[in-house]
Amino acid sequence: MFENVNLDDLWYEGEYYDKEEYECGDIESDDLIESIENDLGFKLPQSYIFLMKKHNGGLLNKNCVQINKRDTFNDLEGIFGLGRTKRHSICEENKYKSYYEENLISICSSNSGHNKIYLDYSICGTDGEPRVIAIDNECFDDVNPHPWVLADNFETFIESLHEYTEDDEETEASDLFHPDDNIHKLVKKKVLVQSNGWIVKFVLGVLLVSVAGFVIGIKFLGYLIPFELFGGILLLIMYVIASIDIFKRKYRCWYDEIADIKEENGIKNYVLKDTERKMFFIVGKKEEIHVGDRFLCITDGYAFKYDK
């Protein structure tokens, strides 16, 4: 087991304020493992148990995994150990689970705090060999959150870990391109409308309601106009600052195509052919999307239909 990796290089051994909260101590008997599995309701992978018997939880020195030639996931922090008392033990981290985590066991933390890394039993069942996935916290509001599949099993996951280097940055960027001015203008317009367009709509809506109320004699709405103007000015300042930031950026882009369209409860989820990362699709109300349609993706996480 783990014949293709040097486990001594896996762990971070320097000083770190949270390090002790990961390391759960020696596993003195298999009774502890069986007891924890009973509490969790899942059979833990033998590769995970093997690793924990050698080093029971800790921060990772190798904290990057290459998903495919395009996507590198470099947001790993530490692996939860087999224990009950430490803050980052597997029991503590899975003590309070939401409904969407029914078939998931949280196994690893992320540096950013935006992602959760799990053993996913949704396909293999409670006694099977789970894959390792990551899901953005914000995506749990979706009907069917699309995860990053980091590895088919825990052993492969550990063997694929490495330190993030400049070579990874070059690999990650190898399939990307720097768009020309026409594409850049379109990208910036789409991102601006999608991310900050609500500010303009909100300000105009509030002002219209206040003015209309004043005109038809609803006095208290008229009295609110100075406050609305002050708030509207602040929001518009925010809009201008955000707009300047967007228009100063030089986005990196790549093309991909729709591989599958899944619909549940009237909500459509578009799956890209080569891109594992979660993308936010900018789709017009009258725009029809079909399998095979080409999309332009940008590093900020947006994708929109585009065919040059």
- Quote the radius of gyration of the chain (alpha carbons, Å): 24
pLDDT at 167: 54
| Nearest partner of 110 among 65, 152, 155, 69, judged by Cα | 65
Amino acid identity, position 288: E
Beta bridge partners of 78: 59
Q: pLDDT tens digits, the chain, 308 residues: what are they?
A: 888 788 888 998 888 777 788 889 888 788 999 999 999 999 999 999 999 999 999 999 988 887 765 667 888 999 999 998 899 999 999 988 887 888 999 999 988 787 889 999 999 999 999 999 998 776 655 545 667 889 999 999 999 888 876 555 544 545 567 677 788 888 888 888 877 777 777 777 777 776 666 666 665 555 666 666 677 778 778 778 878 877 777 777 888 889 998 887 777 888 888 887 778 888 877 788 889 998 988 877 888 887 65
Amino acid identity, position 15: E
pLDDT at 171: 47
Q: Answer yes or no: are the C-beta atoms of 91 and 36 closer than 8 Å.
A: yes
User: Quick one: which H or E segment has residue 132?
Assistant: strand 131-136
pLDDT at 175: 59
pLDDT at 131: 95
| Nearest partner of 100 among 142, 154, 150, 128, judged by Cα | 142
Beta bridge partners of 161: 65
Could you give the C-alpha distances from 264 to 109, 143, 268, 273, in angstroms and in order? 30, 7, 7, 20
Two structure tokens written together for 170: 């070059």
* This prediction's pTM: 0.58
| Nearest partner of 172 among 69, 24, 76, 62, judged by Cα | 69
pLDDT at 193: 80
| Nearest partner of 1 among 45, 53, 44, 50, judged by Cα | 50
